[in-house]
Amino acid sequence: MSLVADELIRFSSVLRIAYNFLTGRDYLKRRKFREKKKLISVGLPYSDIVYAFPDLVPVLPIRMHEFNIHKYLTYLGSASNVFGWNSVTNFLGFVKDLGIKDVSKAVDDIIENVIFTINEKYNEMYDFGEECGIPTDFCYGVKSLYGMNVSKGKNCDANLNYTIRCSAWNKYLESIKAIGHSSEQIWIEIPPRNIGNSLELLTDNITKGMEELEKLSSYSYSDNTFRNHLQTTNQMRQAYKDILYEVGTSDFYPCNPATFCEILALLNISFHDYNSNAARFRDNITSLLKEMKGRVAKGIGMDVSKMPKILITPMFGGWEPKSHEIIYELGGRVLYGDWDLLLFLEQIPLSNRTDPIEAYAQFLMNITTNGIGCDNNTLTDSYVRIAKNLNADGLVFIQVFGCHSISNCYTMLKEKIRRDLEIPSMALNFNKMGENVEQVRTRLGAFMEMFRY
Amino acid sequence: MQNVEILQEYYLFLREKKEEGKKVIAFIAHDNIPEELIDAAGFIPLRMMFAGNDELMDASHDFLSPSTCAFAQSCIGAFSKKPNYYQFLELIDYFIVSNHCVSDICASEIITNYFNISRLNFYVSYTKTENSLQYFKLELEEFKKQLEEIKGSTIINDDLKKSLKNYNDFKKKLHELSNLNTKGSQKLGLLQEALLYGPKILPKIEKFIQNNKDSQILNNEKSVVLTGCSIFFNDYLNDLIEEGGGNIVFFDTWIGSNYFSQILEDTTIESSENPIDLFVLRFKNNIFGDHSVPNFLSNKVSQIYELCENYKKETGKKIGVINHIIKFCDHMSIMSSHLKEQLQSKGIQVLNLERDYSRANRGQLSTRIEAFLEMM
C-alpha cells in the first residue's frame, strides 16, 4: 500500500468526497428516475445558477459513468449509511492498524485508486472523443468533455453553456448540439471586457439563463434560494482557500505532500459541479479543513519546511497526475491552485448587493476581467499573483498539446516570473495522462536539481 | 501579376501613404473589424492575409506552442523573420488585438508586445442576442475613441457614412466579380488584391468585370466551393486545385463571400442617424461568420446547400465542397466532421482538407485533391 492511500483513509471527509464523485452514477440515477429531477450538464465551475432550482441537478458528465471500483465504494457507502462516515473511517484505520489483510486490502484498493480511477476514465473519454470524430487538434480537456457528452449527454435535459475567451471551448459547446441529443442548449455570454454597462448586460444574460432553467423546472426562481446557494458556495470557497493557503503554505502538513496533492486534485475535479450537491460538498470541505487543522494541532503529519513548494499549473485541462508523486520523491511538494488562480475561489459579493444575480454577475465579471483575462497579459498576472501568494519556490507550467489559449502564455509568463518573482520555472508538455511519465520524471528531475543547494 | 510584385507594389503604396502622414492599422481577424472606422479616421486598414511556410512557422515557436493555428504562427513569423516580400509590415503603426479566436488574441498580443507595435483593442461578442449587440456597440464606441485619440480629433459622422457607402459599393462590385464564369485563380488574385488595397482598386475590378462578363462556364473542369479558411497570399492551394482539374467557382471564406456579402442597403446607410448602429446591424446580419455561436454550423450547412443547389439549377453541373482547414484552427476544425456529415447527407460531396504551411504537405494535399476531384 502506498503512503498516499495510508494517509487518505484518515480523512473521512476525503473519503466522502471521493465516494460522492465516484458513485455519482447511482446518485444521479436516483435523482433523475426516482425523484424526477432533471440533470443539467456543466463544465468548468459555472454550475451555480442551476442550484437556484431545487429540482435541477448540475453534473459534470463524467460523473454519469460507472467507475471500476464502484462496488467496493457501494459497500463502504452502505456501511456509512448505518454507522456514519466517521465511524467507518475510524474503523478502517483501526483495521489497518491491526493489519487485517483482506479488509485492509480492499480499503487500500479503493483509496489508492481514487485519482487513478478518475483519470483512467478521463483517458477513456479522451479516446472516445477522438473515436467520435473530434479532430486530434484539440486539447485533452475538450476531447474528453466531448467524449463525455457523446456517451452520456443524452441523460441531460440541458447543457449550460458559458462563453469564455477560449474559442475552442465556445466551439466545443456549439458542437454538443450537433451530437444529436435532444437536450436544450442554454447560453450565457460573458462579455469579454468590463466596459460601459457590460456588467448590467451580464446580469441580464444570467437572468435570461435563469428564465431558461425555470422553464425546465417546476419551481419558480427565487432570490432566496439562489442567495442561500451562493452563501453555501462562499463557505466552501473560503474552506477551499484555507486548505490551499493555511494548510498548503505551512511548514507542517497533516499528511505527506503527495497525499495533500491527491486531495487538492480531488477538490479540483469535484469543484466543477460540487458533486451535484453544493451543501454536501460544503460540509465535506469544511470538515476536511477541520480534520486537517485537528491533525496539525495534534502534531500528526509531516514537517515539510525543508521541501520547496512547486506550483504546478494549469492542471484543470489535463496534466500528468504522477507529477506530484515524482516531485515528492525528489524532495519537493506540489500545490494545485487553478481555481484560485482564475479567481473562482473569491467570495461572491452578497453583502453589498440586494440582488444575488447581480452579485453573481460581478463575481463572474471579476473572473473574466482579472482571472482568466481577455488576454495573456492579464492571465500571466494571475499566475504571478498566485505564485506570490503561495510563496512558491518554483513553477511548473503545463503546456497542453492543442491548447491555443492558456498554453500560449508561457513565453510572457516566464519573463514575468523571472522579473517579478525570481524563481525558476519550466514548461512541461502534456498530451494524455500516463503517456510520457518517464520523460516527465527526467524533466522534473532536472528541474528539482535547482533546489538542491 | 505575381504575388511578390503585388506585395512589393503594396509596400510602395503604403510608404507613400505614410509619407502623407497616414497611420497603418493592422489586424489578424478579418471578420467584424470595422475597417470603415479606420478609413474614416484617415488611416489605412491592413489585413493580415499572408500565408506562411516552414521558416515562418518555426520562427513563431519562440513565442507560442507549435500546436497553434498555422496562420497565427505565420503572422508572428512574418514579423520575426521579416522576409523581404513582407517588408511593408515594418510600416505598421498599430495592431488590433481582437478575439476572433483565441489564436488571434495570442498572436496579436505577441506582435504588439515583442515587435514594438502599439496596441488597439477590439473585442467581439460570440452570440447575437440583443445584449451581445449592445456589447458590440460598446466595443465600437471604445474603438472609435481609440482612433480619435490617435487622430487628435473626432471622427465625423458624415465621413463615417461616406466611408461606409464607399466600402459598401466596393463589396457590391466584388459580388459581381464573384459571379463571373472565370477561373478561380483570377478571381482569387483580384479578391486578394481588393482586400489588401480596399476601394482604391475599384477601377481595376470594374475593368475586369467588363472584360469578362460574357465568359462562359468552364465545362471541362470540376466546380468546387471553397469553404473554411481563406487562401492567403503566397499560398499554393488554388494551384493544386486547378492542376488537379478543379475550379473554385465560389470562395466562401474571409477572402470571398464572407467579406463581400456583408452589404447594407443604401437607404439604410443614408437614413442612419448614428453610423455606429450600421456596424451593429451588419454584425447582427453576419450569421455565416465562423466566430459566432451557437448557430454557425446550421447556418453554414444551409448556406452551402443553397449555393450548391442554385449552381446545379443554373448550370446543370455538379459541384463539390472543399473545406479548407488550417491546422489547429479552433473554429473550422471542430465543426469539420459535422459539416461534412450534414452536407453529405444532403448529397453534397465534401473534402475536409486539413493542412499547415509546410512544404512537405504539398504532395499529400495534391493527392487528396486529385482523388476528391476524380470521385466527383
Q: Do A173 and B293 touch (CB under 8 A)?
A: yes
CA–CA dist A344, A138 (Å, integer): 24
Q: What is the pLDDT, as a whole number, of residue A68?
A: 75
Beta strands in A27-127 (DSSP E): 38-41, 56-59
Residues of A in contact with B106 (CB under 8 A): 376, 404-405, 408-409
Q: Judge whether residue A165 has pLDDT over 90.
A: yes
Give the mean pLDDT of chain A. Answer: 91
What single string gives the DSSP state of each residue in A99-142? T-HHHHHHHHHHHHTHHHHHHHHHHHHHHHHHHTT--TTS-HHH
> Average pLDDT, stretch A307-332?
96
Q: Judge whether residue A91 has pLDDT over 90.
A: no
Give the number of C-alpha atoms closer than 13 A to the C-alpha of residue B373, restricted to the C-beta side: 21
Q: What is the pLDDT, as a whole number, of residue A84?
A: 72
* Residues B224, B183 share a domain: yes
Q: Do A178 and B99 touch (CB under 8 A)?
A: no
Is residue B174 situated within a structural domain?
no
* Residues B118, B201 share a domain: no
Pick from A68-82, A203-217, B208-222: least confident: A68-82
Residue pLDDT, tens place only, A343-354: 999 999 998 778
Pick A376's closest partner by Cβ from B109, B129, B134. Answer: B109
Q: Do A174 and B331 touch (CB under 8 A)?
A: no
* Residues B190, B139 share a domain: no
If you count residue pairs, one on A and one on B, with CB atoms under 8 Å apart, how many are there?
149
State the Cα torsion A211-A216-A222-A225 to the nearest 10°: -130
Q: Judge whether residue A113 has pLDDT over 90.
A: no
Residue pLDDT, tens place only, B156-214: 999 999 999 999 999 999 999 999 999 999 999 999 999 999 999 999 999 999 999 98
Residues of A in contact with B96 (CB under 8 A): none
Q: How many helices (H) and strands (E) does chain B have?
A: 16, 8
Q: Which of A205, A408, A409 to mutate to test the interface with B (most CBs of B within 10 A)?
A: A408
* Residues B151, B191 share a domain: no
* Residues B225, B94 share a domain: no
Chain B nearest CA to A201, separation (Å): 6
pLDDT over 90 percentage in chain A: 79
Q: Taking a C-beta distance cutoff of 8 angstroms, is the pair B351, B304 a contact?
A: no
Q: What is the CATH number of the domain that holds B26?
A: 3.40.50.11890
Q: What is the pLDDT, as a whole number, of residue A90?
A: 67
Is residue A409 classed as helix, strand or coil in its secondary structure? helix
Pick B138's closest partner by Cβ from A137, A187, A198. Answer: A198
Q: Do B99 and A205 touch (CB under 8 A)?
A: no
Q: What is the pLDDT, as a whole number, of residue A80?
A: 72
* Residues B186, B94 share a domain: no
Higher pLDDT, A133 or B58: B58
Q: Which three cell numbers stand for residue B255?
A: 477572402
Pick B102's closest partner by Cβ from A167, A178, A399. Answer: A167
* Residues B291, B194 share a domain: yes
Report all structural domains of chain A as residue ranges with CATH numbers, in order of start. Answer: 3-238 (no CATH), 306-341+375-453 (3.40.50.11900)
* Residues B138, B194 share a domain: no
Higher pLDDT, B174 or A78: B174
Is residue B236 situated within a structural domain?
yes
Q: Which of A167, A203, A428 to mutate to test the interface with B (most CBs of B within 10 A)?
A: A167
Residue pLDDT, tens place only, A404-448: 989 999 999 999 999 999 999 999 999 999 999 999 999 999 999
Q: What is the pLDDT, as a whole number, of residue A73?
A: 61
Residue pLDDT, tens place only, B342-351: 999 999 999 9
CA–CA dist A59, A42 (Å, integer): 6
Is residue B173 situated within a structural domain?
no
> Which residues of chain B, if any, have pLDDT below 70?
1-2
Chosen domain end from B107, B130, B161: B161
Containing structural domain, residue B313: 179-375
In chain B, how many domains are there?
Answer: 2
* Residues B258, B200 share a domain: yes
Does B73 contact A at CB distance below 8 Å?
no
Is residue B171 situated within a structural domain?
no
* Residues B186, B64 share a domain: no
* Residues B291, B156 share a domain: no
Q: What is the pLDDT, as a whole number, of residue A104?
A: 47
Q: What is the CATH number of the domain that holds B243?
A: 3.40.50.11900
Q: What is the pLDDT, as a whole number, of residue A1?
A: 41
Is residue B331 situated within a structural domain?
yes
* Residues B262, B232 share a domain: yes
Q: Do B330 and A168 touch (CB under 8 A)?
A: yes
